[in-house]
A and B are shown apart, each in its own frame.
Chain A
Amino acid sequence: MYLIRYFEERVIELCHTKELEGLVHVGIGQEGVATGIALSLKDCDYLYGTHRSHGHFLAGGTDPKLLMAELAGKDTGLCRGRGGSMHIVDIPNRLMTATGIVGGTISLALGTAIAKRDEGAVVAVYFGDGASNTGSFHECLNMASLWKLPVIMVCENNGYAEFTPMSAHTVVENISDHGKPYGIPATIINGNDVLAVLNAANDAVKRAREGDGPTLIECLTYRLRGHYVGDPEGYRGAQEVSEWREKDPIRVFSKFATSKKFIREEVMLEIRSSAQRAVDEATEFMRASPWPDGTRVADFVYGPSS
């Protein structure tokens, strides 16, 4: 969680100094979800992200250096600079793709589950509260249940679809209410409690691996920063943000872990400084990396045999 937090704080700084350009969405405040879900998955499993997926990928094992280089558009980036923040892919870690299309990866996760269920793999897919109003979300609930696919559908409900609060865009009280009509077990948890996320995810992964089909997990969370880097955030008040700051998943877990004494203070400090080092190294790597060759702009449109 510290790695994700420090990484994204650095991303914001680098956006301000124009070392990073483009449309960048950070998930500061949502690290508990990314971490809990990633910890429940095995190496044989697959994961699909959203447009706000730096945290999902870092928690899933992505090298911060390659991610930072990708965000900067460098040739050493995960996707050789062709993807950028919203379209990251890390196949060695089975992080299949983020997407700029809200709700766009849910159906892809179903397809991967069909392809890999015989190998015992589980596929997790993230989407937000806003995506619950796309038609494809409902089509996918139906198909995942119909075919009993080993899919973990993780709703990161951060209360806003871009700039619109959930009360103004959704008629159901909870996103998890959508599970029942489709025969999908659904649960609603505090997404800022990484251990609650891990527990719910473990249950869902177990069901999926035993052939009992999909689970919908609604994680209540909050993005402490704007929808995108540079968002003036006129749609919400400072009071609301500061209330959620008290519920910051990192603060909650650190307090819990040190007060219960299962992580010693000095270990926590070491975790923090090693995360900071990794972010520094990622920044240096990005800065030292070459740009892609402009004459190769049409590489990767088709495969090598074409």
Chain B
Amino acid sequence: MKDGQRFIDGLQRALRAEFEHDPLVMILGEDVAVGGPFGVTSGLVDEFGEGRVMNTPISEESIMGVAIGAAAAGRRPIIEIMFIDFLTLAMNQLVNHAAKLRYMSGGQLSIPMVIRVQQGAEGGWGSQHSQSLESWFLHVPGLKVYTASNSIDAESMMRAAIQDDDPVMFLEHRGLYFSNDNLILNKIEDPEKARIVRDGCDLTVVSYSRMTRECLNAAAQLAEEGIEAEIIDLRSLQPLDLDTIIESIKKTFRVMIVHEAVMVGGVGAEIAAQIQNLAFDWLDAPVTRVGAPFAPVPASPILEKAYIPNSALILEAARSLVGD
């Protein structure tokens, strides 16, 4: 594996660049001064000091509040929540203050902060260290939600998130941290624009984060069967780049949405509703969704494997969609 092309390398380059670029940038969270469990913040404290790289107690609600209070006073804090499962403890501050202070103050306040959150199922860590909860945050006006599937986007989108004047949730899939891209990708300047990672004319597959990789695997198999899938990596979930999705549907007439999160009430539900509103007449088949079953993430490796949507499941759904 070539060094520098891993997802984590992109994140680290972004953090270092923004710390150098803007002295108002700081990071706080549990264990960030010692690198955190995955080493994303390794070395930052040596370079930038404890004043900007702050280890905190295990007090999720209040450290979220601390970040908001620092942002309200002009800093650009990044808060690391070690697992999205722990973000539940900080929902009060995130939803009631970070998301709403600009609005409730009539534009007097802005909260330029990034909420870095690691999430996803990998390695059998069980129900409280593996969830994918992104759909909750799409429902909260005032928040932005970014994901990345590769190191190029991890770097450029993290830099954009830090420079953004509004709170941005940056969701990092733990299964991606140490993976090599194996993709040749251009840099897309606008973090809120979706990326077409594979061109195709037979169906549109909308995905994000690690599932983009599974979709690409499935697409390779589909191509052997004579089916060309166009794969869209959403990158930003809030706001959604619906234009790119609709444009693709007008070419393929069929669409499926794939995510690792539980299918019920997921991001796919919102996208499906938007599609039928914007492109009903262009559809040759109902919108298809692929997601996890309606169950917590299991611990057993066999059960976890059965739980996470994989390329076989995507293939099956794609064949059925095209055969419709």
Contacts and interface: CB of A to CB of B under 8 A. Distances in A.
Contacts of B54: 114
Given A83-B106, A302-B166, 4 more contacts: A107-B65, A112-B73, A115-B74, A306-B165
Interface string B67-107: 11111111101000000000000001100110011111111
Residue picked from B61, B71, B166, most chain A C-beta under 10 Å: B61
B165 A89 contact: no
A106 B59 CA distance: 13
A107 B62 contact: yes
Contact of B61 (A107, A142, A301): A107
A contact patch SS = mixed
Contacts of A235: none
A42 to B, nearest CB: 16
A89 B101 contact: yes
Given A115-B69, A301-B141, A306-B166, A104 B96 contact: yes
A211 interface: no
Contact of A111 (B73, B105, B141, B142): B73
30 contacts: A82-B106, A83-B106, A89-B104, A90-B108, A96-B109, A99-B97, A101-B97, A104-B92, A106-B65, A107-B68, A107-B93, A108-B72, A108-B97, A110-B65, A111-B68, A111-B75, A113-B69, A114-B69, A115-B73, A136-B92, A142-B59, A143-B63, A300-B106, A301-B103, A301-B142, A302-B102, A302-B144, A303-B166, A305-B164, A306-B164
Contacts of B56: 143
Interface residues of B, number: 42
Contacts of B71: 111
Interface string A59-97: 000000000000000000111111100010111000011
Contacts of B109: 89, 91, 96-97
Nearest to A107: B65
A43 to B, nearest CB: 15
A142 B166 contact: no
Given A100-B96, A101-B96, A82 B61 contact: no
A21 interface: no
B57 interface: yes
B108 A136 contact: no
Interface of A: 46, 48, 77-83, 87, 89-91, 96-97, 99-101, 104-116, 135-136, 139-140, 142-143, 146, 298-303, 305-306
A89 B108 contact: yes
Contacts of B107: 80, 299-300
Contacts of B110: 303
Given A89-B101, A101-B92, A109-B69, A305 B74 contact: no
A207 to B, nearest CB: 20
Nearest to B95: A101
Contacts of A107: 61-66, 68-69, 93
B31 to A, nearest CB: 15
Nearest to B75: A115
A46 B104 contact: no
Given A80-B107, A139-B59, A301-B142, A111 B66 contact: yes
Contacts of A79: 104-106, 108
A276 to B, nearest CB: 28
Contacts of A142: 57, 59
Nearest to A92: B108
A3 B67 CA distance: 35
A303 B68 CA distance: 16
A115 B92 contact: no
A83 B109 CA distance: 12
Contact of B57 (A100, A115, A139): A139
A146 B70 contact: no
A80 B102 contact: no
